[in-house]
Amino acid sequence: MSRFLTLSTIAVTALASMAALARPVVMTDLSIQSQASDRLEVSMAFDGPAPDPRSYTVDQPARIAIDLDQTGSALDKRYFQIGGENAQGITVVESAGRTRVIVNLKSLMPYDLFSDGNRLTLALGGKVRERVSQAPVPMKSAVQTAIKDIDFRRGDEGEGMVQIALTDASVSPEITQQGQVIRVRFASVDIPPALQRRLDVVDFATPVRQIDAFAEGGDTVLAIRPDGAFDYIAFQTDSLFTVAVKPISQKEQAVRDEAAKYTGETLSLNFQDIEVRKVLNLIADFTDLNLVASDTVGGNITLRLKNVPWDQALDLVLRTKGLDKRQVGNVLLVAPAEEIAAREQLELETQKAAQELAPLRTEFIQVQYSKAADIAGLLTGAGVEGNTDAADSSVLLTARGSVAVDDRTNTLIVQDTAAKLQEIRDLMDVLDIPVRQVLIEARIVTADSSFAKRVGVKWGFLGQATGNGSSVARVGDSITSLGNLAGQGVAATDLAGVVGPQAPTIGADALNVDLIPAGSESGSFALGLATSDLLLNLELSALESEGRGEVVAQPKVVTADQQKALIEQGAQIPYVTAGDGDTNVQFKNAVLSLEVTPQITPDGNVIMDLNIVQDSQGGTTPKGEIIIDTRKLTTQVLVGDGETIVLGGVFQEERTNDVQKVPVLGDLPILGKLFRNKVVIENKKELLIFITPKLINDALARR
């Protein structure tokens, strides 16, 4: 029996504990405390242990959202106003057993969340204070948070809904808008390779056109690309994070752009025929500004404004009554627009008169990295002499100011008022700095590919009658090229000893039909047939050659920003010309030149105006003049630091097919090859130009 009572007691205790755990806690109080100008603490009290918060931020509009699951709200109001410089207000919303706390900011600021018993504290700005929790902080799981799925749906009002399923509901993404792109960054969250892709969702007829999901530095980033005017809102339900993008009209967009100019706290004004001065006092009290109103400010106004930024309400009142304002620190001056304009004009005239009466001072300014004459030209607007005419004076000098230059020491001698001298010194701090330099390297690659094929033939015969030895029959030139074949039956000495008109002339070859390729590099095959009175010889020759060449020129030049630089290398080729009985020697340049004017952009890129010329000697004209082969490129390019770009390529191909033959015999189907010479030549040339700029660091530039 006692055992049964013990088990019953344990069961009842467990059920009570589970019921207590399942019971939602209720937020009973919310207080705001300003710690410093840059720090704010929001303390939330509950009727039980503080729930575990889940938070995320939105960039535009700047918000911090805190979700509290299984939490209700017993607060007497939903909106709490904050008087901080950045924080504007706090909204508390309860729905479906969950409470969301939204902090409205002018711009995002660092924050921290920590719990202590029945209290949850949100610290905004400043440094996170040290705290000690009553309960030990549970260790996070070692399992890496990841994206489970990415889906897209169309909402009931035509909005595009990007849904991201997470493995951990405590993830707080960062949302920013960059132009027409909404970027959602999940810090330290993995994304499977299968989900790293681009989703084209144009067919859903929503403002969203594309969604890019990719990994970036250990984070997961979603880039949502809408079209047209749009608005978006982000919210999270458990482990499902949703970004809803809805379309807005051009009129709504114009209203948003107009409202973006006003960032003050919202207020409501509802008055019938109230004095303008009283309205100004109400706005001054609301903003804690000191107000100075001119005696000419008067009249009554009727207005009904609800939840309007105070600066917009002030502008509406001023424009309605023809007033204007000037704010200096926390003092607001209000007067008719004409009165303020007249007062400012009077102040300008007073300053001008004081400047004309101010004593002149002379100062010597040493110019380090620029030319003093160039700086003097900027100060005077025309030259280095002082201008005495106020109409012609530069804005950088007064009418009485002057400047002179000492070229030997590169020093400016400036005479002007003390205020102008200080402006000139400030200007020198900006202008007199070392100019950045850039190394520009050009690689000019000329690739030649040639192929030649030549086939030809020589043949002839020589005969001698053996009767009285006085008759000779010959077709060809000589038989000495056949070497030992000449001594087999027909002796060269016998032929050489013949005298008279029939005597043959001994030459180099005993061949008649000379259709052989020119050049000693040809491969030849000789065949001779000698009998007692006849010598028949045949020489076949063929040449096949293939050549490939590459000429690389690599000029380099270092120059300063926006300064032209030129480097040339080559030769002057002489040639002789004749005219009027005189002989003259003239020259033509065959050079490789690189002319460049760089401009270094603020983001580290280089804009280059380039003129590259590569000349080489070609052939000659019939009159003996030199022909120059020219390759030239003139262009402007934008290249990153250390990157290489191919500026242009010129491809040239030449084909030659030449046939020399004996008439009639060279046209025979098969035997015609013995009576013709065929030359096939193919030449290919290609020109490529590579440019690589490299910025020289400022430390080297200052040496």
Residue 428, pLDDT above cutoff 80: yes
- Of the listed ranges 59-63, 515-519, 638-642, the least confidently predicted one is 515-519
Tell me whether strands 290-293 and 331-336 are parallel, antiparallel or unpaired: parallel
Same domain, 32 and 156: no
**How does pLDDT run across 572-595, given as a tens digit for each residue?**
888 777 766 677 778 888 888 888
114-120, Cβ contacts within 8 angstroms, sequence gap of 24 or more: 115/50, 115/52, 115/53, 116/50, 117/49, 117/50, 118/45, 118/46, 118/47, 118/48, 118/49, 118/50, 119/43, 119/44, 119/45, 119/46, 119/50, 120/43, 120/44, 120/46, 120/50, 120/51, 120/53, 120/68
Same domain, 517 and 551: no
pLDDT confidence bin for 395, thresholds 50/70/90: low
What pLDDT score does 91 carry? 85
Provide the 10 A C-beta neighbour count for residue 172. 18
Same domain, 533 and 578: no
What is the side-by-side strand order in the sheet with 240-247?
147-154, 160-166, 240-247, 230-237
With 0.85 as the threshold, say if the pTM is over it: no
Residue 527, pLDDT above cutoff 70: no
Same domain, 554 and 692: yes
Same domain, 528 and 552: no
Whose CA is closest to 199, among 223, 177, 178? Answer: 223
Whichever domain contains 207, its CATH number is 2.60.40.3470
As a whole number, the mean pLDDT across the chain is 77
pLDDT confidence bin for 453, thresholds 50/70/90: low
Same domain, 644 and 664: yes
What pLDDT score does 6 carry? 44
Same domain, 295 and 363: no
Same domain, 568 and 672: yes
Q: Of 379, 413, 431, which marks where a domain is finished? A: 431
| Any domain includes 689 | yes
Query: Buried b vs exposed e over 683-694: b needs ≥16 C-beta within 10 Å?
Result: eebebbbebbbe
Which whole number is the average pLDDT over 429-435? 85
Q: Identify whether the C-beta of residue 171 lies closer than 8 Å to the C-beta of residue 145.
A: yes
Please tell me the distance from the alpha carbon of residue 430 to that of residue 432, in angstroms, as a whole number: 6
The owner of tokens 């969250």 is 189
| Any domain includes 555 | yes
What pLDDT score does 309 carry? 87
pLDDT confidence bin for 305, thresholds 50/70/90: confident
What pLDDT score does 182 carry? 93
- Of the listed ranges 84-88, 143-147, 475-479, 552-556, the least confidently predicted one is 475-479
Residue 702, pLDDT above cutoff 50: no
Same domain, 551 and 673: yes
Please tell me the distance from the alpha carbon of residue 111 to that of residue 516, in angstroms, as a whole number: 94
CA dihedral (501, 503, 506, 507) positive or negative: positive
pLDDT confidence bin for 23, thresholds 50/70/90: low
Burial of 141 (0-12, 13-18, 19+ CB in 10 A): exposed
Q: Could you tell me the residue range of the domain that residue 421 belongs to? A: 358-431
**How does pLDDT run across 317-338, given as a tens digit for each residue?**
998 889 999 988 899 999 999 9
With pLDDT > 90 as the criterion, what percentage of the chain qualifies?
A: 16
Same domain, 685 and 571: yes
Same domain, 119 and 62: yes
Q: Of 307, 340, 373, which marks where a domain is finished? A: 340
Between residues 405 and 353, the one the model is more confident about: 405
- Of the listed ranges 200-214, 228-242, 449-463, 512-526, the least confidently predicted one is 512-526
Between residues 112 and 18, the one the model is more confident about: 112
Total number of domains in the chain: 6
CA distances (Å), origin 136, targets 116, 133, 143, 422: 11, 7, 20, 61
**How does pLDDT run across 176-229, given as a tens digit for each residue?**
888 889 999 998 899 998 899 999 898 888 999 999 999 988 899 999 999 888
Six token digits for residue 81? 């106003």
| Any domain includes 702 | no
**First-residue to last-residue Cα distance in the chain:** 99
Residue 150, pLDDT above cutoff 90: yes
| Any domain includes 351 | no
| Any domain includes 288 | yes
Q: What are the two backbone dihedrals, phi and then psi, of residue 435, each rounded to the nearest 5 degrees? A: -80, 140
With pLDDT > 70 as the criterion, what percentage of the chain qualifies?
A: 73
Which whole number is the average pLDDT over 388-407? 72
pLDDT confidence bin for 662, thresholds 50/70/90: confident
| Any domain includes 454 | no
| Any domain includes 134 | no
**How does pLDDT run across 334-393, given as a tens digit for each residue?**
999 999 999 989 988 888 888 788 888 999 999 988 888 888 888 887 544 444 444 444
Whichever domain contains 418, its CATH number is 3.30.1370.120
Residues in Cβ contact with 638 at an 8 Å cutoff, skipping those fewer than 6 apart: 601, 605, 606, 607, 608
- Helix, strand, coil percent content, the chain, rounded in steps of 5: 20, 50, 30
pLDDT confidence bin for 447, thresholds 50/70/90: confident
Same domain, 564 and 608: yes
Residues in Cβ contact with 677 at an 8 Å cutoff, skipping those fewer than 6 apart: 454, 455, 456, 457, 515, 516, 517, 659, 660, 661
Count H helices and E strands in the chain, helices first: 9, 39
What pLDDT score does 223 carry? 94
pLDDT confidence bin for 599, thresholds 50/70/90: very high
Please tell me the distance from the alpha carbon of residue 237 to that of residue 171, in angstroms, as a whole number: 11
What pLDDT score does 480 carry? 43
Residue 394, pLDDT above cutoff 70: no
Q: Of 382, 412, 431, which marks where a domain is finished? A: 431
Between residues 515 and 192, the one the model is more confident about: 192
| Any domain includes 600 | yes
Whichever domain contains 281, its CATH number is 3.55.50.30
Q: Is 671 helix (H, G, I), strand (E, B) or coil?
A: helix
Residue 162, pLDDT above cutoff 80: yes
